[in-house]
Amino acid sequence: MQNPYLPYPVRIDDIRIATEDKSLKTFKFVFLDPDDEDRFAFRAGQFAELSIPGVGEIPIGIASSPVEKGFVTFTVFRSGVVTTHLHNMKIGDIMGIRGPLGNSYPWDLLAGKNILIVGGGFAFTTLRSSIVYMLDPANRPKFGDIDVVYGARTPGMLLYKDELVAWEKRSDINMHLTIDAPAEGWQYNVGFTPPITEQKAPQGDENTYAIVCGPPVMIKFTLPVLEKLGYAHDHIIMSLENRMKCGFGMCGRCGIGKELVCKDGPVFTLDQINHTPREY
Amino acid sequence: MTHMGIEPDRMHFSWISSAEATKFVVVAKEVTEKVRALGPNKHFIKTEARGAQHV
Amino acid sequence: MKLVSIDKKDWEKGIERLRPRYRLFGPIREKTYHAFQRLDEGQLPDLAFANTRLSPKDIVFPQSKAILECSLDETKADHHIMKSIAGDDTPQLVLGIRPCDASALTLLDLNFNTDEVKDPYWIQAREKTTFFGLACDTPQSTCFCTSVGGGPFDEKGLDVLLVDADDRYLAKILTEKGAAAMQAAGWQDESDANALLERRRGAAEERIRSVVHTDRLKDIDILRLHGAPFWEDISFACINCGTCTYLCPTCWCFDIQDEVHQKTACRMKNWDSCMYPLFTHHTSGHNPRGTKLQRLRQRFMHKLKYFVDKHDAGIMCVGCGRCVHSCPVNIDIRHICNLMNQYSTEDACEAQG
Amino acid sequence: MSEHIDRIRDIAQRLLAEGRVDMIVGFRKGTLPMMNEPCFIKTPTAVDQLVWDSHCGINLANYLVDRSETIGVIAKGCDSRNIVTHIIENKVDRDKIVIIGVPCHGMVDKRKIQSLADAEIEAVAEQKDQLVVTAGGNEMTVPKKDVLQENCRVCIHRNPVIYDELAGERTEEQSDVDRYADVHEIEALSPDEKWHFFEDLLAPCIRCYACRNACPLCYCPTCFVDESRPQWVGKGQDPTDVRTFHFLRAFHCAGRCTDCGACERACPVGINMRVFTKKLEKDCFEQYGWEAGLTLDERPPLDTYRLEDPQDFIK
């Protein structure tokens, strides 16, 4: 019997500081047993428990994409006991990863559709995974137009900057990067994410889905914008966060009504969320 | 602490000024001897994750 | 389903035969209450009890259990690689579990043993454990098992049901596991006292006086119940201790915690409670259930609504009455269940006293 | 029902009707014998729900903190002392509470009553100093003084020490009680015996924190057992962790505890954790002449320094 509590052992292969304030780092992990990588087969939007023996576990969205092989990456904000410990670890250290956990973005449903991605701050990790997945030559034909609105406080707080710049240059994805206030050398949009979404995002229709991930305040002001643009509630896809422990639906804490964020989510449509108590 | 069963000689309070080097030496020696006489502490030591009543 | 008669004169002899094969558990009298305990050499279960103070769920779901461990010593080849702590496979036998507590195990199965994920520690404990239930002749005023799909002679979750019939026990063998244990004990006298058993069942069921109503729970909208005004009134007294959840035979929520002892890291599964603020507290400081009203509501909504909607297996309560008895401030699930069941929008306007 | 209830209801009704308070915090009849449930009353017509008898042992001071309303609270001696402590510790604003003092004759311990009967208790009625207990269809009469909560048995502050309204004649305080007999017994033990005494005492603890949460003193937003940075205590059932919780909690109550018995009463497994808190209460009394919650005019011993403070433990 497979033990869902048991993490796959991994080695930290690389650590990169992801934002100028050093509060986020991107960790690249390699499985000690190469076969574990196949067992860890995941879809964009899923998360995993990063597991540090003797310290604890923390659920983090998977930032690498299923089309990237040989490693998995996670971008982690330093906030609690486990993430602080992780930020102090070194390349070569051994730890564990448990997963993949949760559902994912509904890729079957999204096939053939236009996709609008709205992201803010450091919630861009699973969105990066999704974009890399969709832009993969094998997958790109499966999707219609792809628009991305991504905002951060300053240019230095945008995650994955090299990739953002590369995507800006491509013709098969429309990037709308924005920062809160003008900054020297910044050549893209200036303003909060919701108004930029209002200006740049395509109109919603039956064939267009919006995936929204960001801090609560961004979500709060973006949802009315999307409604105005004509996105139906079942066409707005969100990823929720709650305190989690087991990650596979048993320990009970992440429930929002009868749904468990860890197992039935973390990805829900706004329509589904509207039918559950707001306990996230 | 002694009320819950810690040996009285394991506990020691002293006021020692930074100028009272001699007193510090005397007290430190005295405390060390008393604790040594008691042997290793048995209480408030966790050796393994216990508590699972039925394994 | 075979019925066997056990002469009480053969009871002790049978238990002695079971002892070498099973780790035995049973109710033991401690001062003023009964508790399920490991039966020591020569010790017999004391079956003269109404119900134990704590539910015996900890025999298969311990309050604190070390599940994984690894070395943190970097000179070891496998340092920092977590391994499962192999469970002990010794068969165990629980004598005298009440039908309510046994049927609770089948509700816990719905959480720990699903088609998608299985908790290996739960599965192992369940598989190695045989449950001899003791039909309940002494229901208390707070018992309401018959309202929630159970009964004092209920067989769910049991391998053998024992019925006290004066000078003998009638043993109804319900599973292979039960049959094996009965054989090991040497209790083999077949009986045809089915009619007697049914008479006793009927009499015991009549003794259950508490009734809760659950018929409408499924039809009431989740969000409406969630927003019902009565929660403020009910939750006022609550002190948010974990008594109800820890005594409850059906509460399954747990925490995962790491501890380090010298150079060994250990990961533990500990009971947790939706009554505690920490249960849902985010690292950011945000707490989706930060008030006691929200936490109390979560407990009862989970048991009486979310579970009902999700599993279509009735409410997540077996009517043992422990929480009613032991709540320090007299919060009564029977009252809350009935309030929820009869809730309608008109009630929303009622002034709260 | 006690003789005080009519006056309690009258006062509560008046306070609500006059708009002096937004709500009354008191007790309503519980669903079990010997149990009453803390409740709030917001309308004058609902005051008939209020009850007062020998089963109101829960400390209502626990329900006053972190509330915005002006509250009328029913307070027996110990409740009033905890309200004083709340005021001293700035947890309750004196101007936002109206204290309805009730002289107390002691609350009964339902476990003691249950232990006298062979069957489940069906009803308990009060006739002055006697309780009429019905169990298994039989009635028996029990002197109330034989079944009091242990803390009530040795209580010497039965009258509220602070109140705005008094719902009954002051009662005579007990003077012939040995308040610390149980502490003395433990003090007489050897260190090893003490250790084992507490090990046995705490063995049944399930860490439900009912003692902590029933205690009006335990209002910390995050209890030390719930801290994660640093994590002071393990979360499992290791006896070391269990003992650390109980003793540290007791230390946190030093000089504040009024021996109201809420912790012991709330414990679902019958642990008498008052033997820790009482030791500290006794020390405060003997060393500093301090009893918690008797006056608003003096600071508690642990936040004051006086030259004459005993310091013979310092060498």
Q: What is the pLDDT of residues D14-38, one digit of tens each?
A: 999 999 999 999 999 999 999 999 9
User: Are C261 and B52 a contacting pair at CB < 8 A?
Assistant: no
Give C-chain residues touching A10 at CB under 8 angstroms.
none
Helix, strand, or coil (residue C139) = coil
B47 touches chain C (CB under 8 A): yes
Question: pLDDT tens for residues D77-110?
Answer: 999 999 999 999 999 999 999 999 999 999 999 9
Compute the distance between CA of residue C6 and CA of residue C165 in angstroms, rounded to an integer.
10
Q: Hey, which chains touch B, using 3+ CB pairs under 8 Å?
A: C, D
Question: Most A CBs within 10 Å: which of D228, D232, D235, as the mutation test of the A interface?
Answer: D228
* Tally of CB atoms within 10 A around D115: 11
Percent of chain C with pLDDT strictly greater than 70: 97
Position D258 in a domain = yes
Evaluate if residue B55 carries a pLDDT over 50. Answer: no
Confidence of residue D195 (pLDDT cuts 50, 70, 90): very high
- Find out whether D195 and B5 touch, Cβ atoms under 8 Å: yes
Say if residues C249 and C104 touch (Cβ distance below 8 Å).
yes
CA–CA gap between residue C60 and residue A56 (Å, rounded): 24
Structural domain contains residue D152: no
pLDDT under 50: residue ranges of chain A = none
Distance separating alpha carbons of residues D259 and D59, to the nearest angstrom = 11
Mean predicted lDDT score pLDDT of chain D: 92
Is C65's CB within 8 Å of B48's CB? no
Provide the residue range defining the domain that includes D167.
1-106+157-173
Q: Nearest CA to CA, how far is C265 from chain D (Å)?
A: 13
Assess whether D206 and D166 both reside in one domain. no
Shortest distance between the Cα of A23 and any Cα of chain D, in A, equals: 18
Mark whether D86 and D230 lie in a shared domain.
Answer: no
> Three-state DSSP class for D259?
coil
SS3 for D34? coil
Same domain? For D39 and D89 the reply is: yes
On whether any CB of chain A is under 8 Å from the CB of D231, the answer is: yes
Instruction: Answer whether D54's CB lies under 8 Å from D105's CB.
Output: yes
> Is B54 near chain D, with CB under 8 Å?
no
Chains A & C: contacts with CB separation below 8 Å = 135
**Minimal Cβ distance to C84: which of A3, A54, A79:** A3
Report yes or no: A32 and A11 within 8 Å, Cβ to Cβ: yes
> What's the rounded mean pLDDT across residues C259-278?
93
Contact criterion met (CB < 8 Å) for A242 and C282: yes
Q: What share of chain A has pLDDT > 70, as a percent?
A: 100
Query: Most distant CA pair in chain D: distance in Å?
Result: 64
| CA dist., res. C342 & res. C331, Å (int) | 18
A127: helix, coil or strand? helix
Q: Is pLDDT of C217 > 70?
A: yes
Asked if the model's pLDDT at residue C81 lies above 80, the reply is yes
- DSSP assignment, residue C86? P
Residue C231 clears pLDDT 60, i.e. is over it:
yes
Contacts of D136 (CB under 8 A, 6+ apart): D117, D118, D119, D120, D122
Cα Rg, chain C, nearest whole Å? 22
| Terminal-to-terminal C-alpha distance of chain D | 56
- Tokens representing residue A182 in the block: 């003008």
Q: Which positions in chain B touch D196 (Cβ < 8 Å)? A: 5
- B52 CA: distance to closest CA in chain D (Å): 7
Chain C CB contacts of D245 below 8 Å: none
Look at chain B and report how many structural domains it folds into.
1
Nearest-Cα distance to chain B for D309, in Å, is 15
3-state secondary structure of C291: coil
Whether residues C277 and D209 touch (CB distance < 8 A) is answered with: no
- Which candidate in C261, C267, C269 is best for mutational testing of the B interface (most B CBs within 10 A)? C261
A97 Cβ neighbours under 8 A, 6+ residues apart: A7, A8, A10, A29, A31, A40, A48, A49, A50, A51, A72
To the nearest whole Å, the CA of D201 is away from the closest chain A CA by 31
Pick the closest to residue C292 from C244, C338, C335, C250 (CA basis).
Answer: C244
Over residues C16-31, mean pLDDT? 92
Cβ contacts of residue C199 below 8 Å, gap of 6+? none
Tokens of B44: 């408030």
Pairing of strands D23-29, D71-75: parallel
Q: For residue range D105-140, what is the model confidence (pLDDT) as tens digits? A: 999 999 999 989 888 999 999 988 899 999 988 999
**Is there a single domain that holds both residue D297 and residue D241?**
yes
C309 contacts A258? CB cut-off 8 A: yes
Helix, strand, coil tally for chain B in percent (to 5): 45, 0, 55
Interface A-D: count of C-beta contacts within 8 A:
5
Examine residue D315 and state whether it is found in any structural domain, yes or no. Answer: no
Residues D14 and D95 in one domain: yes
D12 and D37 in a common domain: yes
Residue D237: inside a domain: yes
> SS3 of C248, please?
coil
Residue B26: which domain range? 2-54
- Residue in this structure with the two tokens 């030390």, named with its chain if needed: D224
Per-residue pLDDT at C31 exceeds 80: no
Determine which of C259, C280, C298 to mutate to test the interface with A (most A C-beta atoms within 10 Å): C280
Number of Cβ within 10 Å of residue A269's Cβ equals 19
Distance from CA of C126 to the nearest CA of A (A): 14
C120: closest chain A residue by CA: A3
Chain D CB within 8 Å of residue B22 CB: no
Closest alpha carbon within chain D to C323: D268
D168 and D200 in a single domain? The answer is no
Q: Alpha-carbon distance D290 to D295, whole Å?
A: 10
Q: Which residue of C has its CA nearest to D262?
A: C328
Pairing of strands C264-271, A208-213: unpaired
- pLDDT, tens digit, for every residue of B9-38? 888 888 898 899 999 999 999 999 999 999
Q: Which of C241, C293, C320, C339 should be substituted to probe chain D, the one whose Cβ sees the most D Cβ atoms within 10 Å?
A: C241
Residue, of C353 and C42, whose pLDDT is higher = C42
Domain limit, last residue, from D147, D165, D200 = D147
User: Would an 8 Å CB–CB cutoff place D229 in contact with chain A?
Assistant: yes
Mean pLDDT of C41-48: 90
Same domain, D258 and D119: no
pLDDT of B42: 83
Distance of residue B43 Cα from the nearest chain C Cα, in angstroms: 15
CB within 8 Å: D314 and B14: yes
Given a contact cutoff of 8 angstroms between Cβ atoms, the answer to whether C21 and C15 are in contact is: no
D27 and D127 in one domain?
Answer: no
pLDDT reading at C349 higher than 70? no
- Looking at chain C, the whole-number percentage of residues with pLDDT higher than 90 is 84
B54 → closest Cβ in C62, C262, C264: C62
CB nearest to D247's CB, from B4, B14, B45: B4
The model's confidence at residue B53, banded by pLDDT at 50, 70 and 90, is very low
Same domain, yes or no, for D73 and D184?
A: no
Distance CA(C230)–CA(C238), nearest Å, equals 13
Which residues from chain C sit within 8 angstroms of residue A263, using beta carbons?
A: 116
What the block records as the tokens of B22 is 């001699």
**Same domain membership, residue D191 and residue D290:** yes
Picking from D60, D55, D185, the residue whose alpha carbon sits closest to that of residue D112 is D55
Mean pLDDT, rounded, for D38-45 = 95
Number of structural domains, chain D? 3
Angstrom distance (rounded) from CA C3 to CA C10:
16
Note the pLDDT of residue D304.
Answer: 83
Do D201 and D305 reside in the same domain of the chain? yes
**Which chain C residue's Cα is nearest to A277?**
C223
Q: Do A6 and C119 touch (CB under 8 A)?
A: no
Chain B residues whose CB is inside 8 A of the C62 CB are 52-54
Chain D residues in contact with C247 (beta carbon < 8 A): 268
Average pLDDT over residues C214-242: 93
Say if residue D288's pLDDT is above 90.
no
Phi, psi values for residue A3, rounded to 5°: -100, 105
C near A: at least 3 beta-carbon pairs less than 8 Å apart: yes
Would you say A226 and A212 are in contact if contact means Cβ atoms under 8 Å apart?
yes
Characterize A39-74 residue by residue with b for buried, 16 or more Cβ atoms within 10 angstroms of its Cβ, and e for exposed. Answer: ebebbbbbbbbbbbbbbbbbbbbbbbbbeeeebbbb
pTM recorded for the entire structure: 0.92
